[in-house]
Amino acid sequence: MALVTESVADICLAAKAASRVLARADTSTKNAALHAIGEALIARTPEILEANARDLEAGREAGLSDALIDRLRLDAERVAGIAAGARAVAALPDPVGEVLDGGRLYNGLDVRRVRVPLGVIAVVYESRPNVTIDCAALCLKSGNAIVLRGSSSAIHSNGVLTEIVRDAVAGAGLPEAAVSLVAGGGRAELGELATQRESVDLIIPRGGEGLKAALMAVATVPVIYAAAGVNHVFVDVSADLDDAIAIAVNAKAQRPSACNAAETLLVHAGVAGVFLPRALPALRAAGVALRLDERAAALAGEPGDEAATEEDWAAEYLALVLAVGFVDSVDAAIEHVGRYGSGHSEAIVTGSAASARAFQLGIDAACVYVNASTRFTDGGEFGMGAEIANSTQKLHARGPIGLSELCTYRYLVEGSGQVRA
């Protein structure tokens, strides 16, 4: 495993130079690099898993939570999925050069607005080593160089994965510096990376509120923040109860460590008496620990359940824990989500078109679902091949960040000797 050991400033300057080459690379060259990445991941799976085992062992010794260990863990199936993701990105249309709009002006000038790469993107992330490949693949396809800064908990896994990508990129005739890893995980490195205004065009952090706060304190480079996933499933009075139970269990238990998992279940008081006696046992059977408000506890609570506190409504558990509460109307559900939600993913289960529309218009979140699980908020599920992060802010990207969100645009203007009077 070879980690890049240059200074942060030197890494970013080399990435800037590489980005100018990538911006001119044709689609076939970029796709060749992505397919080479996929092939190398499969061929070098034993090496990847050996490095990951070292990280897992160190993580357990350091007392990482089960949720973080799950995010860190790789196996052959997950590596195959990561490889498939790189190939899926290769199959996507190349956004670079896409003409967004344009036409001929009154003065004869031809104007086109064309999609172009941002340049150098830095991604700061915690635990998940699959992010190394997902982000590198998306940046390469969109013509951007990438500087990766993973956490110290995944240092061995990220080192091997970055080495694989750099080898594939070089084999395709692109600059190796198009993909770089800042080794380690110290705050000093983060601060240095976040202030490289001359060479880094955008930083995207993937992690908890501590990482976000650390970046906000020092960043001079533009940042797209991906906030916590304090997500809700609201079961309306007209909901199909079988669908509601399936959605609630899936949203919470299918992968609780993911940012698109549900953390709170809200139930309309008009259906709670029928729904909760069925839903809560199903959630418990899936291993979910429940935090119930007074009405939910009185109706269907059991000795192992706990009382929900004010902190529970705003908690991102990232674990098999779910807060459950009554609401008396769709408007009350919208108000609750507006107070405690993080703007990530929110779902309503309903048979009413009016309730669905009210929820869609009233919820301020990147993704709003009607009769579906919040677990679908994912670049791969949305047909993007992969994602760099899920943005909960409104400028310049929102929701899963894929290829087009990694581009800006420029105006190309062609004339025949015109001068302005």
Distance CA 11, CA 318 (A): 33
Its sign, for the CA torsion 414, 415, 416, 419, is negative
Q: What is the tens place of the pLDDT at every residue in 122-177?
A: 999 887 899 999 999 999 999 999 999 998 899 999 999 999 999 999 999 999 99
Query: Going by C-beta distance under 8 Å and a sequence separation of 6 or more, which residues neighbour residue 242?
Result: none
Its sign, for the CA torsion 209, 215, 217, 222, is negative
- pLDDT tens, per residue, the chain with 421 residues: 444 468 999 999 999 999 999 999 999 999 999 999 999 999 999 999 999 999 999 999 999 988 789 889 999 999 999 999 999 999 999 999 999 999 999 999 999 999 999 999 999 988 789 999 999 999 999 999 999 999 889 999 999 999 999 999 999 999 999 999 997 656 788 899 999 999 999 999 987 778 888 888 999 999 998 768 999 999 999 999 999 999 999 999 999 988 999 999 999 999 999 999 999 999 999 999 999 999 999 999 999 999 999 999 999 999 999 999 999 999 999 999 999 999 999 999 999 999 999 999 999 999 999 999 999 999 889 988 778 888 988 888 899 999 999 999 999 999 999 999 9
Tokens of 418: 């015109």
**Cis check: omega of the bond before 396, within 30 degrees of 0:** yes
> Angle 368-369-372 (CA atoms, 0-180°, nearest 5)?
160
Q: What is the DSSP letter of 94?
A: P
pTM of the predicted model as reported, rounded to 2 decimal places: 0.86
Its sign, for the CA torsion 140, 259, 257, 91, is negative
Outline where DSSP puts E strands in 43-119: 99-104, 110-117
The answer to whether 381 touches 414, Cβ cutoff 8 Å, is no
The answer to whether 293 touches 326, Cβ cutoff 8 Å, is yes
The CATH class for the domain spanning 8-224 reads alpha beta
With CA atoms as reference, report the closest residue to 282 among 238, 233, 312, 246.
246
The answer to whether 369 touches 399, Cβ cutoff 8 Å, is no
With CA atoms as reference, report the closest residue to 34 among 148, 157, 135.
135
Give the number of other CB atoms < 10 A from CB of residue 392: 24
Task: Write down the pLDDT at residue 4.
Answer: 47
Q: Which CATH number fits domain 231-376: 1.10.730.10, 3.30.1370.100, 3.10.150.10, 3.40.309.10?
A: 3.40.309.10
8-224 against 231-376: fold identical: no
Taking CA atoms, 98 is separated from 116, 143, 212, 413, in Å, by: 8, 13, 33, 15
Query: Going by C-beta distance under 8 Å and a sequence separation of 6 or more, which residues neighbour residue 223?
Result: 194, 202, 203, 204, 205, 215, 216
In terms of DSSP bridges, do strands 179-181 and 145-149 run parallel, antiparallel, or are they unpaired? parallel
With CA atoms as reference, report the closest residue to 321 among 263, 408, 240.
263
Taking CA atoms, 69 is separated from 46, 48, 144, 235, 321, in Å, by: 19, 16, 30, 32, 17
The answer to whether 379 touches 89, Cβ cutoff 8 Å, is no
Sequence ranges of the domains in the chain: 8-224, 231-376
Phi, psi (deg, nearest 5) at residue 115? -75, 135
The answer to whether 407 touches 397, Cβ cutoff 8 Å, is no
Residue type (1 letter), 316: E
Give the number of other CB atoms < 10 A from CB of residue 282: 14
In terms of DSSP bridges, do strands 345-349 and 289-292 run parallel, antiparallel, or are they unpaired? unpaired
